[in-house]
Amino acid sequence: MGTELLAPLDLAFWHLESDAHPMHLGALAVFDPVPGTTPLHVLDLLSTRAAAIPRLRMCVRDVLLPVGGAAWTVDKDFDVHRHVRRVVVDDGDFMAGARRLAGELMEQPLGRGLPPWQMYLIGGADDGPFAVLVKLHHALADGMRAVAIGAGIFDEIAAVTTARSAARRRPAVPPRSWLPDPREMAGMALGRIGEVGRALGVGASVVRAGRLDLRTTTAFTAPSSGTRRLATADLDATALQGIRRAEGGTANDILLAVVAGALRRWMGERGEALPGADPRALVPVSRRRPGGAATGNRLSAYLLDLPVGAADPRERLRAVRAAMDRNKAAGPLKGAGAVAVLADQLHPLAHRFGAPLAANAARVLFDLLVTSVPLPRSALSLGGCPLSALYPMAPLARGQSLAVALSTYGGRVHVGLVADGKALPDLDRLASAVKEEFDELRALVTGWVAAPVS
């Protein structure tokens, strides 16, 4: 792997970052211990496997052409021990301590001169559970690519990757003229015209969707303090499918409705009046095609008004379903939520000098991020220790205080909530509200009754 220019959207994420708004994705993977596996063994395994992932050896360097551009290039002084570290949990409650540490580590921007990623082995007692926090800069990958890159640390993926690498023999590729084929030039020109036309349509949608009534009183749109807090929730994936069979729609529709209900419940407990207009969520959508480019970001998004004003959980679900059906009918390349498409049409200089303006514009379009991250369905382990949960974490946009990410693994939906630590000191309560709203919807739809607490 040599030098590779950053795609426009990757460059946008690279320049959107500030000290108070680091632009890295994260995941907290929790493992059950097995006898004989020590922290030092796991740390060595993490280091060895991370060093074997080519993408994690790449750092960003400025280039002369295109002006304002940057490229991924191999770090000739790469040292994996700069990126893989061990931290110890002192709390009696391991998970509480792991969440606290993960929040503090997510506050810290990744170093610019090195490959932009970190892994932390978070452990307590040597024979107890442990976790691995993975941080990858958003310029390096979107959610799907981040999973593919990070999966290289697991026993099952590492074994397959090693076997494929040993068996791979690339056939010689004949040299190609630097002059493009005239038919390719015509195709590229037509494609470019189509892309520009689509971008103009998205730009018009962005202007129409922009809001002048910026509400600054709600907690999840409070000014940034630069601090981060992490909370988690676990939902029953089998119950989720039961709700889906009864009510229709998608699993994502149900989870979005649960988030809306949790926000309503949480705001009520805080004594906050419900907003005059429903909070708007940005819901990322992958544009990645099977067999397409393996690197960079391929994203669009939908905008969704979360129906916190609706008191009935089923009414909230039906409102979400109807809104998402409209979004899908329009497609991921239309509407204001497809603002990421605009980044693909901008010159590198526009990203370099326009990033502060673009960062502030996020608040005009949406209030919080809600994203789903797909995970492998097969069981995963690290050093023989089974993975028990994986909580994804999304970055916070400027002017916003809450991002919600969800993933399904091992029969559970794992919810990771990242918040500004000062704006949402009661984030744990919001995480509890997610679980309570899910249980309420489950009971209404399926007649399920929670077991009494002993």
For the segment 98-116, what is each residue's pLDDT rounded down to a tens digit? 999 999 999 999 988 899 9
Confidence of residue 145 (pLDDT cuts 50, 70, 90): confident
CA angle 209, 212, 214 (to 5 degrees): 105
* pLDDT at 232 > cutoff 90: yes
Rg (CA), the chain: 22
345 vs 261: which has the higher pLDDT: 261
**Cα–Cα dist 260/233, whole Å:** 15
Provide the token pair at 101: 């540490």
**Cα–Cα dist 145/299, whole Å:** 11
**Cα–Cα dist 232/242, whole Å:** 22
Return the percentage of the chain with pLDDT > 70, whole number: 76
Per-residue pLDDT at 161: 61
415-421 mean pLDDT: 95
**Cα–Cα dist 213/191, whole Å:** 38
8 Å CB contact between 380 and 40: no
Helices (H) and strands (E) in the chain, counts: 12, 15
284-288 mean pLDDT: 73
Query: Which pTM was predicted?
Result: 0.85
Confidence of residue 59 (pLDDT cuts 50, 70, 90): very high
